[in-house]
Structure 1
Amino acid sequence: MRKKLIEFRNVSFRYGDEEPWVLKNCSFEVYENEWLAIIGHNGSGKSTIAKLMNGLLFPQEGEIIINGQQVTEETIWDVRKDVGMVFQNPDNQFVGTTVQDDVAFGMENRGFPREEMIKRIEQNLTAVGMQDYRLTEPHRLSGGQKQRVAIASVLAVSPKVLILDEATAMLDPKGRQEIMRTVSNVRAEHALSLITITHDLREVVQAERVIVMNSGEIWDEAIPREIFSKKDALREIGLDVPFVAILTDELKKTGMTITNEPLNQEELLEDLWTLHLRT
């Protein structure tokens, strides 16, 4: 049985005493070496969850436990050693004049020996395919390259959990695919827990589990295939449905018997080929 790394226990949050609740009585867990996707429309509370996990915010009600420690102002620096976060705009995270300086920054703050820093800079830039840009100024990079460097900077301090908070929102479709491919490879190599927070259902097909947020509450929690099967309900709460799911529905209307809920084009093609062989 996998260890719990993050626990939300009846967590509620609002940005002011007179403001509406952004989160309402939320409870869930994140496990060791798990890929969890948290999705929802803008304003559903998903990005607030990310900030609460990293101690950028504190709940008014409930408890948050990270690797056995309750998140408080006293424990926040220990918590942040276990939880790394990559934001929507990587420019907000850059502090170094070169790529390698930026990757080194977090390690310097934690007092890593110089030899270890050099080793980790090389390892983590290689992991995200940016080793040839180590002396490049960050502002000269493309959006996708910046996100890769941001991921390398977080990985360098060896967190147990990596959170991507709308990390692909500013990228074009090709850039999104590259980042998600990079993240998948990095997760497999480092055996860390990954939390992707997005409103784009296309990014969650690789996740083991999905939490759907709506108006500050957990609307549903299931594996991706089960979530994608609820197309009409997802549309009602403001979420786009992947094209593969829409195409599958249209094919079913023509009388085709597609028993599974395909998560991607490859699965749909496999189903169609199997159907062809049977007829």
Structure 2
Amino acid sequence: MHAIEFRNVSFRYEEDQPYVLRNVSFQVETGEWLAIIGHNGSGKSTIAKLMNGLLFPSEGEIFINGIPLTEENIWEIRSQVGMVFQNPDNQFVGTTVRDDVAFGLENRGVPRTEMMERITSSLEQVRMHDYLLHEPYRLSGGQKQRVAIAGVLAISPRVIILDEATAMLDPLGRKEILDTVHRVQAEQQIGLITITHDLNEVMQAERVLVMNNGEVWMTTVPRELVKKQTELQQIGLDVPFVSQLAHALQKLGVPLTEEPIDHEELLDTLWTLHSRK
């Protein structure tokens, strides 16, 4: 049973408008980290909203842990799929960090004793428990996103979706958020879906779904993706700097036998080549 499965899903906002998604099929496995990338307008965020039941397919079916997504079971589905958006300010409803994390639990009628345990646990997981009584709007961008993630973790989801959740952060904040989510994902075997246009972020995922003009262009792994520089540029995607540098070195005659997916791999390869001389 897949954590999430799309079967021939198409979507359009109005009957007389063109389809935003066309015949999209893919699966997300339990505990897997899947990155979804594509140029603006390729359908990435629409997929995220469909997974969470904020939208429903015009055609096709969506299954969450084997359960078909319908309007009748939407609240059950949303308890299993948590979403963190690009701007955390749009998610805050409480006057303190504690109140904000409690909001989703109160809506689900979680008993107070259990609620307090979940609030403490989720904030500790993202290292924000010391900010329990702080006002969310006074936090830094990275801290706000960690609180938003804690609010999602508190409802014990099976899958977390980050919809461009690191786009507004600086490189350090982006790394902190990804490290936090990846650590929690590994500890709890939660499925993780990152929707992004940043290929450097994608290199950390286990698998990559590439969208182009509302269709699945490719499903692959990061190491294979970086080999397709020309094709990625043709569909409007940037290539990671490490890949660009590796290709430039190859053109200069440096014998790189494998595509590096991050700067550490590239440095290790160059050091190994230097040591052989």
TM-score bracket, normalised by the shorter chain, equals: over 0.9
Gaps of 5+ in 1: none
Structure 1 distance, partners of 2:120, 2:58, is: 42
Residue 64 of structure 1 and its aligned partner are, at CA, apart by: 0.4
Please point out which of 115, 130, 135 is paired with 1:117: 115
Please point out which of 192, 196, 199 is paired with 2:197: 199
Q: Secondary structure at the match of 2:62?
A: strand
Residue 34 of structure 1 and its aligned partner are, at CA, apart by: 0.3
Could you say which residue in structure 1 is the equivalent of 2:255? 257
Structure 2 distance, partners of 1:236, 1:179, is: 30
Gaps of 5+ in 2: none
Residue 205 of structure 1 and its aligned partner are, at CA, apart by: 1.3
Please point out which of 11, 16, 19 is paired with 2:17: 19
Q: Secondary structure at the match of 2:261?
A: coil
Residue 217 of structure 1 and its aligned partner are, at CA, apart by: 0.4
Structure 2 distance, partners of 1:136, 1:20, is: 46
Residue 250 of structure 1 and its aligned partner are, at CA, apart by: 0.7
Q: Which amino acid aligns with 2:133?
A: L
Q: Which amino acid aligns with 2:205?
A: A
Please point out which of 225, 228, 247 is paired with 2:226: 228
Please point out which of 174, 177, 199 is paired with 1:176: 174
Structure 1 distance, partners of 2:256, 2:2, is: 37
Structure 2 distance, partners of 1:37, 1:98, is: 32
Q: Secondary structure at the match of 2:3?
A: strand
Q: Which amino acid aligns with 1:261?
A: E
1:84 aligns with 2:82: yes
Identical residues among aligned pairs (%): 68
Aligned pairs for 1:204-215 within 5 A: 204-215=202-213
Could you say which residue in structure 2 is the equivalent of 1:237? 235
Structure 2 distance, partners of 1:122, 1:261, is: 43
Which sits farther off after the overlay, 131-140 or 111-120? Answer: 111-120
Could you say which residue in structure 1 is the equivalent of 2:269? 271
Residue 139 of structure 1 and its aligned partner are, at CA, apart by: 0.7
Residue 13 of structure 1 and its aligned partner are, at CA, apart by: 0.3
Q: Give the total of aligned pairs.
A: 277
Residue 45 of structure 1 and its aligned partner are, at CA, apart by: 0.2
Could you say which residue in structure 2 is the equivalent of 1:63? 61
Residue 6 of structure 1 and its aligned partner are, at CA, apart by: 0.8
Q: Which amino acid aligns with 2:151?
A: S
Residue 274 of structure 1 and its aligned partner are, at CA, apart by: 1.5
Structure 2 distance, partners of 1:64, 1:156, is: 24
Q: Secondary structure at the match of 2:18?
A: coil
Which sits farther off after the overlay, 29-38 or 102-111? Answer: 102-111
Aligned pairs for 1:33-72 within 5 A: 33-72=31-70
Could you say which residue in structure 1 is the equivalent of 2:103? 105
Q: Which amino acid aligns with 1:73?
A: E
Residue 80 of structure 1 and its aligned partner are, at CA, apart by: 0.7
Q: Secondary structure at the match of 1:210?
A: strand
Per-residue CA deviations over 1:106-145 (Å, capped at 9, x if unaligned) read: 1111111211111111111111111111100011011111
Structure 1 distance, partners of 2:221, 2:128, is: 33
Q: Secondary structure at the match of 1:4?
A: coil
Structure 2 distance, partners of 1:79, 1:112, is: 17
TM-score, normalised via structure 1 length: 0.97
Could you say which residue in structure 1 is the equivalent of 2:153? 155
Structure 1 distance, partners of 2:147, 2:229, is: 35
TM-score, normalised via structure 2 length: 0.98
Q: Which amino acid aligns with 1:174?
A: L
Residue 248 of structure 1 and its aligned partner are, at CA, apart by: 0.3
Structure 1 distance, partners of 2:165, 2:190, is: 17
Residue 221 of structure 1 and its aligned partner are, at CA, apart by: 0.6
Structure 1 distance, partners of 2:26, 2:116, is: 38
